[in-house]
Amino acid sequence: MSRATYTAEQFVKAIKNSGGIITTIAARVGCDWNTARKWITTHPTIQAAYQNECETVSDVAQSILMTSIKDGNTQDAKWWLARKRRAEFGDNLDVTSDGKTLPTSIIIYIPDNGREK
């Protein structure tokens, strides 16, 4: 059985317009998912192309979201505010101080119901 040989150029080309989906990249190159992932994580040029593709997809998604908000979609606006302006509009309770968890104590009261001790 011969071992397939791949090039960085094949992966860089396969990454373009893949949406950052490793299964798509692997299919384009003709290898399995694990091989594609290994090439992406171990070759700086391929890793840079992959990160660029992922950032491009994020920018496209954000652009679509902004268009939706501008068109009056209140659900998208609420989602955006809950995540980007969390301090003002988020539902999360912050229980940290400078990124450190605050010490807490729980006191449980169990009534004796008049029983003798």
Q: 88 in helix, strand or coil?
A: helix
Element (H, E) at 50: helix 44-70
Instruction: Please check whether residue 82 is in contact with residue 89, taking contact to mean a CB–CB distance below 8 angstroms.
Output: yes
How far is CA 6 from its chain centroid? 28
- Domains of the chain, residue spans: 8-89
Tell me what the mean pLDDT of segment 10-26 comes to: 97
Q: Which two tokens stand for residue 84?
A: 């980007």
What's the pLDDT tens digit per position in 77-108?
988 888 887 777 766 555 667 777 777 778 88
Token couple for 78: 């609420």
Task: Give the predicted TM-score (pTM) of the model.
Answer: 0.68
